[in-house]
Amino acid sequence: MANAPRPHISHALQHLRAGVYGAAGVLMVTLLIQLLCWTVIHFGATETQTLEPAAGAGQTAVVQAPTRADKDAAAESAVTQTAEPDPALAVADNAPSINEVPTGVGLVMHRLADTSQIIGIVASVALLVLMMQGVAVAGGGGVPGVEMVVTASTWALVLFALALPWSGVLPEVTFSGVLRSGQAMSDGARQYAAKDLSAAGYFGVRVLLPFLMMGGAFACALRFRAGVKRGIIVTHASMLDEQLEAELRKRKVGEGMTPRSVGALNSAIGEAPATPPPPPPMAAPATVPNPATSPMSTNYGPGQAKRPI
């Protein structure tokens, strides 16, 4: 058969399928962690704390006697017109204060966001590479369903494009990716508080796109599994049962779903259902010969002669 699965292709597809499952699962977990970190950073009030002097502590001032140079400078500044302040040196309203330092929870969230960003980007790259390998193996082996693998690889490319921090690779690109660092999350929260970012764009990138990416990673794994299923050789009875059930659901034929046909199918694969043993045959009742009708009877009626034996 031209499309029969071959052992070496089957083993390769099994390894690729396991890798796709792992990469998609890791990417989904990292997206969940990113959502958690962003929620704490954006809505939590424990990210930073303001340092204040201890109660009752006096301020220490250092007094130094003015020198001659100081006196000359003061006299010169008295006759010099005061210059206008430079707008470039002005401090932005949303800039963090010098006395604001991150708390323990803030440090944990920042480090967790940084770690999840790196792992998520690596997982998206691995998912794309494994998908491309699956396309090459399934297409070269003539596996039926390779078009599903191609579709899954296309969506994996989209996930990779959304996860990559393009602003760090190409400074002119304004999109910085869905996976963000902790500092980028804090800066985005401050910009949103200062009305520098729109609510639709801010919450769309931070909330909507992570959920869409999780659904896309899950759909890619299912699509890849469906595409390589016919190229994997069945080696376990459970795998055979799954294929038989899927075939019966796919056909939806009345005769194919009757218990009689299912029993015949199980008998064909050597898994006939256990049936109770038939009851033992009952013994036939003993018959008593009738003397009047028996051929060996010696009773003769009137007018009958005895025939010799």
Nearest to 13 by CA among 138, 129, 123: 138
117 part of a folded domain: yes
Predicted confidence (pLDDT) at residue 165 exceeds the cutoff of 80: yes
73 part of a folded domain: no
Could you tell me the residue range of the domain that residue 145 belongs to? 7-50+100-239
What are the distances in angstroms from CA 229 to CA 194, 233, 239? 53, 9, 10
Q: How many domains would you assign to the chain?
A: 1
Strands 48-50 and 100-102: antiparallel
If you average pLDDT over each of 165-174, 178-187, 284-293, which comes out highest? Answer: 178-187
248 part of a folded domain: no
142 confidence band (pLDDT: 50, 70, 90): confident
Task: Answer with the residue of higher pLDDT: 103 or 299.
Answer: 103
What is the CB-side half-sphere exposure of residue 290 using CA atoms within 13 A? 2
- Give me the mean pLDDT over the 191-197 stretch: 85
303 part of a folded domain: no
- Give me the mean pLDDT over the 115-137 stretch: 93
289 part of a folded domain: no
What is the pTM assigned to this prediction?
0.60
110 part of a folded domain: yes
24 part of a folded domain: yes
What are the distances in angstroms from CA 117 to CA 162, 170, 303? 12, 18, 122
256 confidence band (pLDDT: 50, 70, 90): very low
Predicted confidence (pLDDT) at residue 141 exceeds the cutoff of 90: no
134 part of a folded domain: yes
